[in-house]
Structure 1
Amino acid sequence: MLGKHRHFLRFTTRDLTDEQVGLRTTASELCLGGLIKHVTSVERGWADFIVEGPSAMGDFDSMTEADFAQRENEFRMLPGETLAGVLADYDAVARRTDELVATLPDLSATQPLPKAPWFEPGGAWSARRVFMHIIAETAQHSGHADIIRESLDGAKSMG
């Protein structure tokens, strides 16, 4: 399922230039390249969480303005970034996640969630739950990408 949604997310960038994947085509701040960068970062972070626990996610309470600015940069193409580079990074993260799925001895193993306003206090997620979250995140942003692409030049991922 994750592979399917990764495919559709990548497919939205077919035949586009580096400039086009950086364009905002809707009222949101999102662009195609930025969505792929964000999904890459999310998948990387959650895979790290499975292996390393909540410390891999950072401490929300100690985030600085620079940390928040860096997170915002996930959603846009920065000078010097290319579609090929963004997709290569996504491919590397996908390979690592796929390997993790195949080699984890127990998908029910849990890690405590980091402290953040969007997580239930004292909560924990299993590796299985984390993978489901990665699938949901990828599917949701694949839909966003489809809307952005259709607004750009009328191309659709499906239909």
Structure 2
Amino acid sequence: MKYCLECGTELIMKECEGEGQIPFCESCGMFRFPIFSTAMSTAVLNRDKDKILLIQQYNRQDYILLAGYVNKGENAEATLIREVKEEVGLNVIAYEYMRSLYFEASNTLMLNFISVVDSEDLSQVSAEVDHATWFTFAEAAEAIKKNSLAETFLLAIIEKLTAGSAEIKV
């Protein structure tokens, strides 16, 4: 961040007690800590927890996990429930937080979940999603976009599920 988000003044680096060198706005007299977007992604499982839903979006052929940005005033869990309902028309009945990773390309902190939905019915998929398909774990690992955060999250989730260490309860 080079300029103050409030007044547009160029920021200088200044020592902030206990924090080190932090961008500072001399006009506002305020430190300006880093700002980034927050989003969640989820491996959506069927009720039997033996299939994973992957989607395609934006006219791309790659399969990815369902994801969405956290709105102002919303927590990650509410975002998870809202995004699954909005994008594929399914109701989340259980979820478990997995981990987070920073995605530099969009300056976004991604919060990853495993979720379980009430149905495998994909008749209510929104126009936001080009295609949604249920995969076995092995098929999903093969189909997911390679070298992506989605792949990193998915492979960790599959490992946890196959090891029986996921605590997600329906």
Normalising by structure 2, we get a TM-score of 0.21
Higher strand share: 2
If the length of structure 1 is used for normalisation, what is the TM-score?
0.22
Specify which structure has the bigger relative contact order, considering alpha-carbon pairs within 8 angstroms and separated by 6 or more residues.
1
Larger Cα Rg: Structure 1 or Structure 2?
A: 2
